[in-house]
Amino acid sequence: MTRAGQGVLVTGAASGIGWATARRLAASGARVMLADIDGARVEARAAELGPGHSAFAVDLADTAAARSMVGACVEAFGRIDVLVNNAGVTDSSGRTLEEQSPAAFARLMAINLEAALAASREALVRMGATGGGAIVNVASGAAFRAIPYRSAYSASKAGVLEMTRRLASVASGSGVRVNAVAPGFIRTELIAALIAEGRLDPAAAIAKVPLGRMGETGEIAAVIDFLSSPRARGLLGTTLVADGGSQAYGGSG
């Protein structure tokens, strides 16, 4: 399908799933705004995609900035047709939920959940004005179960699923579809960092994936492409679990 004329905003687009998504949607003709806290890197990524695309440096812990980001997309492209709320951080403290500082908990919630809500609310208004659009939220298999030392992360991603359901119910009247993808164990820098820090044993993690391997960022980008396209016109407020079978077979993702 062609996305010619579409304006697309992808958060956390400097690396991993966000970058794979930006590449894929740009390849089908959309103009893409790549937003990320890593300003230099996201500039380079937008340049790599070529003319017509743009970069937006933003710390999504600031929800007002998340709203401005959507406005910047409309300024750049005249419209926003697709918003991909992908940026996310995981707990890196090694602390239990009870031990975690309120400030660290609040920052994680702000980035993973509140920013997505703020951007979505702004996008709903903007998309409604041009006849509709699609919002795709990137959740996680962690939304469905407790993961040791990553309770705040799990809670934030469970919140993303509930937000997806709630927004879908209010958005449908304005022609906007809101859905989510819940990736399992995907080969990205985030995962590479956890492995390097000794906080994730890759062999043990893969043993719980019936598919027998980590997922690839391009596989999640393909799901996001589908959810944000007319082929998914019948899907609203739902979550596609893309975890190599982990949830279906009771493993962890």
CA 246 to CA 252: how far, in whole Å? Answer: 6
How many other CB atoms are found less than 10 A from the CB of residue 108?
23
x/- contact string, 93-132, with ligand NAD (CB under 6 A)? ------------------x---------------------
- Out of 158, 190, 200, 236, point to the residue binding ligand NAD (CB under 6 A): 190
| CA–CA–CA angle 131, 134, 139 (5° rounding) | 160
Torsion angle defined by CA atoms of residues 96, 118, 233 and 32, in that order, rounded to the nearest 10 degrees: -100
Q: Which of 34, 36, 167, 232 binds ligand NAD (CB under 6 A)?
A: 36
Residue 130 or 245: the one with the smaller Cβ distance to ligand NAD is 245
Residue 66 contacts residue 60 (beta carbons within 8 Å):
yes
**Contact flags string 145-184 toward ligand NAD, x per CB under 6 A:** --------------------------------------x-
Q: Which two tokens stand for residue 145?
A: 């179960």
Asked if residue 140 binds ligand NAD (CB under 6 A), the reply is: yes
CA-CA distance, 193 to 208, in Å (whole number)?
20
Host H or E run for residue 90? none
Per-residue binding string, ligand NAD, 193-232, x by CB under 6 A, is ----------------------------------------
153 has catalytic annotation:
yes
Using the Cα atoms of residue 133, residue 189, residue 62 and residue 236 in order, give the sign of their dihedral.
positive
Footprint of ligand NAD (CB under 6 A): 12, 14-18, 36-38, 58-61, 86-89, 111, 138, 140, 183, 185-186, 188-191
